[in-house]
Structure 1
């Protein structure tokens, strides 16, 4: 499904190894920094984006040879004024950053809202959900009548547009209806294809979710 929100074998990564970055192979590595989930040591892209099994849910591996490497998870220098723990989304560059101490940030490739559906502003993480249920807003159903069967929600799963995790953006106590979430369309990362929400690879949203605290500030640049 191409819509969006707005409103274990030896070769399979466990959730713990994915989130904490426990190394299995050292080749072709990136070296992201630490965060609330603990230090993240060097991992290969094959490890970082390998298959994930969480109970009944199965996330397939991402063929990173088909992805622009600029949109794969990495550690970068950070000179912005935002405090450590802040999420900064740069829709034009198609990146989300989690600011770290010491002038560093973890950078994730994202897909953003297509023209007419983008959102920007300051918010906070008002809720966190693992394998969330998806409720298309009534405006979306009006635009896309094929979504009518999901008016009462789509059950969690790999076909759910919110993917494995969702961070819900609030302005004060008001839900903006915008999310940072996983996606069942990995090739959409780096594009403007969503209905306003910020989508990440499922493997990346699992990592970001584990590192982000409730009420963490979120800045979505214009």
Structure 2
């Protein structure tokens, strides 16, 4: 097993590297309190009790978890998640970075043991715990946090991802327009809402069919990161834009989907 590189070591090494390349500029721009705040070790809650995250790979590791109070004014940073949830230029759109520090760490993208035993390539949406799993070979699965439909708007059962689309148009169904008449300007006859950062389907959409028919439910991105882990949508499965882009690239063909 390679030596474990702790968060404390990471920060100390970074501080020493900065000091060795520009000590004069550091001392002229920082006071003692600021230096202490910016170099003290910080910790966030682990995704699972008894485990912590290797900052090099993002892998969950067994081992002791250091506990420390978060310093005020300095949010915790994780190099791995700062990268995968950073801003990304995609298809001519600049997808903003996700403030992942404000999201429960359970809902971060991560590889886990597969809890359901479906065939590899199957998508499983666990509505109770607000997770979406993409089953991998070898008893593993990619897990993502999701936002789901509020009571009375949810869908469950088996279906298939009939097709998927990058930067989709959004056309609200007629039942939604009846509830919210102001959405009529985005109806199918009006051409729907143009793709973009403010489009409710976000950067990607995967379309759920059942028995050859469109269910009108989607797995899609959202700019509303606050909705992850909550039941707030009109029935669709919401994901962070960066996560749905990752899922889109992993899904091959007409993937089966199970919503439980």
TM-score, normalising length from structure 1? 0.81
What is the aligned partner in structure 1 of residue 7 from structure 2?
A: none
Q: What's the CA shift for 1:55?
A: 3.5
Aligned to 1:185: 224
Query: Which 5+ residue runs of structure 1 have no aligned equivalent?
Result: 1-25, 33-42
**Given the alignment of the two structures, is residue 214 of structure 1 paired with residue 214 of structure 2, yes or no?**
no
Pairing partner for 1:164 from 194, 198, 203 = 203
The 3-state SS of whatever aligns with 2:217 is strand
2:151 to 115, 133, 139: 115
Q: Is the 8 A contact 1:112 1:199 kept in 2?
A: yes
Counterpart for residue 31 of structure 1: 59
Tell me the CA shift for residue 211 of structure 1. 0.3
Report the Cα distance in structure 1 between the residues aligned to 2:145 and 2:118, rounded to whole angstroms.
19
1:36 is aligned to none
The alpha-carbon distance between structure 1 residues 55 and 219, as it changes in their structure 2 partners (threshold 3 A), is: closer
**Alpha carbons of structure 1 residues 79 and 64: separation in structure 2 relative to 1, 3 Å:** closer
Q: Distance in 1 between matches of 2:160 and 2:58?
A: 29
Per the alignment, residue 34 of structure 2 pairs with none
Shift of 1:28: 6.1
Structure 2: runs of 5+ lacking an equivalent: 1-53, 61-78
The 3-state SS of whatever aligns with 1:30 is: coil
Kindly tell me the number of residue pairs found equivalent between the two proteins: 186
**Residue in 2 aligned with 1:82?**
118
- Structure 2 residue 102 is matched with structure 1 residue 102: no
CA distance in 2, matches of 1:55, 1:113: 28
> Is 1:128 the equivalent of 2:191?
no
Taking CA–CA contacts closer than 8 Å with sequence separation of 6 or more, which of the two structures ends up with the larger relative contact order?
A: 1
What is residue 22 of structure 1 aligned with on the other side? Answer: none
User: Cα offset for 1:31?
Assistant: 3.4
Q: Deviations for 1:75-129, whole angstroms, at most 9, x for unmatched residues? A: 1111423011000001110000000111110000000000100100000110110
Residues in 1 aligned to 2:110 and 2:91: alpha-carbon distance in whole angstroms? 28
Higher helix share: 2
When the two structures are superposed, what TM-score results if normalisation uses the length of structure 2?
0.69
> Could you list the runs of 4 or more consecutive aligned residues of structure 1 that deviate by over 6 angstroms after TM superposition?
none
Partner residue of 1:154? 193
1:170 match: secondary structure: strand
Q: Which has the larger radius of gyration?
A: 2
Residue of structure 2 in register with 1:23 after alignment: none
Where 1:182 maps in the other structure, the secondary structure is: strand
Contact (CA 8 Å) 1:128, 1:214: kept in 2 or not?
no
**Structure 1 range deviating more: 83-92 or 55-64:** 55-64
